[in-house]
């Protein structure tokens, strides 16, 4: 993707997100973006059409023996498919019905259970139900004024003793950046500790197309009390 195209996509994302926020529904723009793309991958700014390299790197370092995996905000499904390919039973959800139907079309013989669901209003039967939870770039896609709620909802899905892996942009101050994306601060991440998670590892991730942007994959373990 060339720089000009990326700039145009991000301008469109910012416009859609700010309209959604003004309407009091900060997640409404995702479905609009997927619908407007009408199957054209080049219109989805985050679409890699391959698993996130930070997930692939983490998997190389890890003895992955988890049984029940969940992918939050799965987008076009590549991360979920990767986890299914190594033997996990995978549920993957996204708030956008169009994204989920796109996953089902792309991976029509998949074992992944693709579901339309909103992280902020999840069914209680998913509470603490997954021994591996993966989220890539969804926390940062949601505004900072609901971050507390978002982090709570993410944490709530991990079974006691289970693992949570997040891939996110990081920011060094508590100043509110112009988003989306809204990079995550250390203070915000400390909420995971308060919710009973221990940071196991943190690996910087450098995107060759955006080398100055600070990003990392962070692995947490839910501590069994």
Ligand X SMILES: C[S@@+](CC[C@H](N)C(=O)[O-])C[C@H]1O[C@@H](n2cnc3c(N)ncnc32)[C@H](O)[C@@H]1O
Residue 173 CB, shortest distance to ligand X, in Å, is 22
Cα(198)–Cα(220) distance, rounded to whole angstroms?
5
Of residues 115 and 195, the one with the C-beta less far from ligand X: 115
Cα(99)–Cα(113) distance, rounded to whole angstroms?
13
The residue number with the shortest CB distance to ligand X is: 73
Residue 142 CB, shortest distance to ligand X, in Å, is 6
Of residues 73 and 162, the one with the C-beta less far from ligand X: 73
Place of tokens 């505004």: 143
Tokens in use for 25? Answer: 């529904």
Tokens in use for 62? Answer: 């890890």
Residue 99 CB, shortest distance to ligand X, in Å, is 5
Of residues 42 and 198, the one with the C-beta less far from ligand X: 42
Beta-bridged to residue 168, according to DSSP, are: 216
- List the alpha helices (DSSP H) in 52-146: 53-61, 78-85, 97-106
Cα(165)–Cα(199) distance, rounded to whole angstroms?
10
Residue 183 DSSP one-character state: P
Of residues 51 and 162, the one with the C-beta less far from ligand X: 51
Provide the binding-site residues for ligand X, judged by CB under 6 A. 27, 30, 46, 52, 73-75, 93-96, 99, 118-120, 136-138, 141-142
Residue 57 CB, shortest distance to ligand X, in Å, is 14
Of residues 136 and 217, the one with the C-beta less far from ligand X: 136
Residue 131 CB, shortest distance to ligand X, in Å, is 19
Residue of 153, 146, 178, 170 lying closest to 13 (CA atoms): 178
Cα(162)–Cα(179) distance, rounded to whole angstroms?
31
Cα(97)–Cα(103) distance, rounded to whole angstroms?
10
Of residues 27 and 223, the one with the C-beta less far from ligand X: 27
Residue 223 CB, shortest distance to ligand X, in Å, is 26
What length is written for the chain?
225
């Amino acid at each position: 993707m060339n720089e000009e195209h990326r700039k145009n996509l991000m301008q469109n994302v910012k416009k859609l997100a700010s309209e959604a926020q003004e309407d009091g529904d900060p997640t409404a723009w995702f479905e609009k973006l997927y619908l407007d793309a009408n199957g054209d991958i080049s219109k989805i700014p985050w679409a890699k059409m391959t698993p996130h390299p930070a997930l692939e790197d983490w998997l190389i370092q890890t003895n992955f023996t988890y049984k029940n995996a969940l992918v939050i905000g799965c987008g076009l499904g590549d991360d979920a498919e990767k986890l299914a390919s190594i033997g996990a039973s995978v549920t993957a959800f996204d708030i956008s019905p169009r994204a989920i139907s796109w996953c089902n079309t792309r991976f029509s013989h998949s074992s992944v259970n693709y579901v339309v669901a909103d992280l902020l209003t999840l069914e209680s039967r998913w509470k603490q139900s997954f021994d591996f939870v993966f989220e890539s770039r969804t926390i940062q896609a949601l505004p900072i004024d609901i971050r507390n709620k978002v982090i709570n909802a993410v944490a709530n899905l991990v079974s006691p003793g289970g693992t949570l892996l997040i891939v996110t942009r990081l920011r060094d101050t508590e100043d509110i950046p112009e988003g989306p994306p809204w990079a995550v601060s250390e203070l915000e991440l400390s909420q995971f500790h308060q919710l009973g998670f221990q940071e196991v590892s943190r690996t910087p991730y450098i995107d060759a197309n955006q080398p100055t942007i600070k990003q990392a994959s962070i692995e947490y373990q839910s501590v069994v009390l």
